[in-house]
Amino acid sequence: MYRFTAGALLICLASIFCSSSLRAELSAKEIIKKSDDLIRGTSNRGSLEMTITNPYYQRTLKMKVWNKGRKKTFIRITSPAKEAGTGTLKIGNEMWNYLPSIEKVIKVPPSMMMVAWMGSDFTNDDIVRESSIVEDYNHRIVAEEKIDNYAAYKIEALPKPNAPVVWGKRFYWARKGDAVPLREEFYDEKGKLVKVMDYKEIKFMGGRVIPTFMTMRTIGKENSKTSLKIIESQYDIPIADGIFSLRNLQTVK
């Protein structure tokens, strides 16, 4: 847990003020980068709660997540009991799962990346995505709109040729001033809207102002959604390389 101090608040307010004063000079790419840096940092560690809701059931997964840059991700599910201990390690474009039921690490083939992660509206690729909305797409501001009463830039992101991405187009709404993400739309290669992600409950956490509640909806499954709640998170902290190793993956503590 971190401490919310007056100093931290001051730094935060100052950074928001500076961001506001500079916003007119930011390009679409700079806004996207600022937004991406905000929710990722150079590294992060946190606890998440994922709730999958559909007409038949609702279930909640709790997990701990570590990220270092864009290349390394480690996830350990802590509940429910049926899934507890399941681990995911991603380094570069390779991924491994540890399955407690067979006490074994298995290598996950890339074809699994577009499959729902743990039955949610997130795919494996969404969870451990290596592709970067900053580096793998070309951006332009296409509108200024209001999302949840916040003034926002609507940014179109089109993939660069040969970029390792799975989407044909994305729209990204970033709050004016501080680039907090508010909404994201994902389109397939035929231009059909596939998923919508809403970012809510913007608050101070981990030394920065971030959305702490995200909801992913799959178009065509209107009664289904997956929400992701950030319980606790820390950013730009040193994370030991040993976290991102097969040794750690098969060691369930």
With b for 16 or more beta-carbon neighbours within 10 A and e for fewer, the 145-183 pattern comes to eebeebebbbbbbebeeeeebbbebbbbbbbbbbbbbbb
By CB under 8 A, tell whether 253 contacts other proteins: yes
Question: Which of 1, 6, 24, 109 forms a contact with other proteins (CB under 8 A)?
Answer: 109
By CB under 8 A, tell whether 103 contacts other proteins: yes
- Tokens matching residue 106: 């298995």
User: In sequence order, which residues have a C-beta less than 8 Å from that of residue 253 and are 6 or more positions away?
Assistant: none
Stretch that binds other proteins, among 27-35, 157-165, 174-182, 238-246 (CB under 8 A): 238-246
Tell the smallest beta-carbon distance from residue 112 to other proteins (Å): 5
Strand partners, 243: none
Q: How many residues bind other proteins (CB under 8 A)?
A: 41
Nearer to other proteins by Cβ, of 76 and 208: the residue is 76
- Ranges of beta strands (E only) in 39-168 are 43-54, 57-68, 72-79, 87-91, 94-99, 104-108, 137-147, 150-159
Tell the smallest beta-carbon distance from residue 49 to other proteins (Å): 13
Report yes or no: 228 and 49 within 8 Å, Cβ to Cβ.
yes
Nearer to other proteins by Cβ, of 85 and 177: the residue is 85
- Tokens matching residue 25: 């000079």
Nearer to other proteins by Cβ, of 203 and 221: the residue is 221
44 DSSP 8-state letter: E
Stretch that binds other proteins, among 14-22, 37-45, 112-120, 133-141 (CB under 8 A): 112-120
Tell the smallest beta-carbon distance from residue 238 to other proteins (Å): 16
Tell the smallest beta-carbon distance from residue 141 to other proteins (Å): 31
Tell the smallest beta-carbon distance from residue 68 to other proteins (Å): 11
Report yes or no: 196 and 217 within 8 Å, Cβ to Cβ.
yes
Question: Which of 8, 12, 16, 105 forms a contact with other proteins (CB under 8 A)?
Answer: 105
Length of the chain: 253
Report yes or no: 46 and 210 within 8 Å, Cβ to Cβ.
no
Residues 29-58 that bind other proteins (CB under 8 A): 52, 54, 56-57
Nearer to other proteins by Cβ, of 24 and 102: the residue is 102
Question: Which of 6, 25, 81, 190 forms a contact with other proteins (CB under 8 A)?
Answer: 81
Tell the smallest beta-carbon distance from residue 57 to other proteins (Å): 7
User: In sequence order, which residues have a C-beta less than 8 Å from that of residue 111 and are 6 or more positions away?
Assistant: none
Tell the smallest beta-carbon distance from residue 61 to other proteins (Å): 9
Percentages helix, strand, coil for the chain, rounded to the nearest 5? 20, 45, 30
Residues that bind other proteins (CB under 8 A): 52, 54, 56-57, 59-60, 80-82, 84, 91-94, 101-112, 114-116, 119, 224, 241-242, 244-247, 250-253
